[in-house]
Amino acid sequence: MTAHQQERAGGRAKHHRNVRARVARAVVAWLAGTVALAGCGDTEALIGGAPRTPEEAIRIVPENGARGVRANRRFEVRVPEGRLERVHVTRTAGAGRQPVVGRISPDGMVWRPVAGPLRPGTTYTVDAVALDGAGHRATRRTTFTTAPPVHRVTGSFSPQGDATVGTGLIFSMVFNRPIADRAAVERAVRVSAQPRVEVAAHWFGRRRLDFRPRDRWRPGTRITVELRLRGVKAAPSAYGTQRRTVHYRVGRDQVSFIDAARHTMTVRRDGRTVAVLPVTAGDAENPTYNGRMVILERHSLTRMDGGTVGFGGEYDIPDVPHAMRLTRSGTFLHGNYWARPEVFGGLNTSHGCVGLKDIKGGGPHTPAGWFFAQSIVGDTVIVQNSPERLVAPDNGLGGWNLSWEQWRSGSALH
């Protein structure tokens, strides 16, 4: 080949290389443009054929950010195709956060909570992960808040906690409205003790729930009451609101025996007699209840008006000293400064209460003053030999007058 022919052949080769280079650049540019267009949406979703956005890939009801959601609203996590890999749900009310137990369907496409309806006044957080048919992963987080309860259910009790109580204390809650689902409410109240003893619940009607052990608490026992009522459906459109823990410490064991026939009260502490005091109990027309009672509350001075307990205007004493309530119906063990001295230990003259000798204003060294100083809420008082009937178990903390079998039969869980 001549030099001229070689030069022409080299030119043609260079031309072909340039053409191939231009074609290659064009292909690259076309591919880049395709990718750039896909980048305006979700490349992975477009190539895999899955929805373009997490909202489409994972559908959650109620919707993200919803407020005032009804408690009976449907709650679920769903994927239109593929499967749910993981769903984690928590609920927050107040300072606490709890997981919500749920279950993914066998086909992997739906998650629903295991336990009933949503809780009112609660914020829910949902974290979900799903895989499409091509193995591409999508994640989504949402939150929503349920509406506050239409009717709030609360229970009152006394003492409020962190108190030293007597061995006869029965923990008693009185609710502000009737409870339809007593089992659900009972499960949400837990009373335990250290050292451990069996504690059982007993319902008195639909508003009152009491807890006690088989026998009186041992001195030194620490009682823990856990209220987990917030969000518990107690009745149609009525939900609990309380969530707290209460502690009590049981003090020494004091039991006082009142003999209405002998007009005496024998005070025993830790099994030893520490005093025998003269008393005056209810008269023949208004005898004092027999049976076991518990000191519910203590007042240095209080007013006693016969009109509030069905005695009309028979008495109204504005300054009764050293008064300790034994029943809700109005039985007190209290100081008495208006009766003659010979009444104490000799006659029963009251309208059903038990009186101890005292002075106006309450003297610390009188029989009433001494006993008041020695007593605490939860101490046991037993009245014997009175012509009156046995005090009802729901009158004050009279539950000790029921046998253990009778007490346990009043639980909604047995």
228: three-class secondary structure by DSSP: strand
- The catalytic position among 263, 322, 334, 351 is 334
- Tabulate helix, strand, coil % of the chain (nearest 5): 20, 40, 40
Which position among 151, 353, 365, 414 bears the catalytic label? 353
Strands 243-250 and 163-165, sheet pairing = parallel
**Does residue 40 have an active-site annotation?**
no
Q: Does the active-site annotation cover 322?
A: no
b/e 193-219 (16+ beta carbons within 10 angstroms → b): beeeeebbbbbbeeeebbbbbeebbee
* DSSP per residue, 151-217: EEE-EE-SS-SSEEE-TT--EEEEESS--S-HHHHHHTEEEEEES---EEEEEETTTEEEEEESSPP
In this structure, is the dihedral angle defined by the CA atoms of residues 142, 148, 152 and 158, taken in order, positive or negative? positive
CA–CA dist 171, 199 (Å, integer): 10
Q: Is 274 helix (H, G, I), strand (E, B) or coil?
A: strand
Token pair for 248: 């009590």
Q: What is the DSSP letter of 408?
A: H
Q: Please give the positions annotated as active site.
A: 334, 353
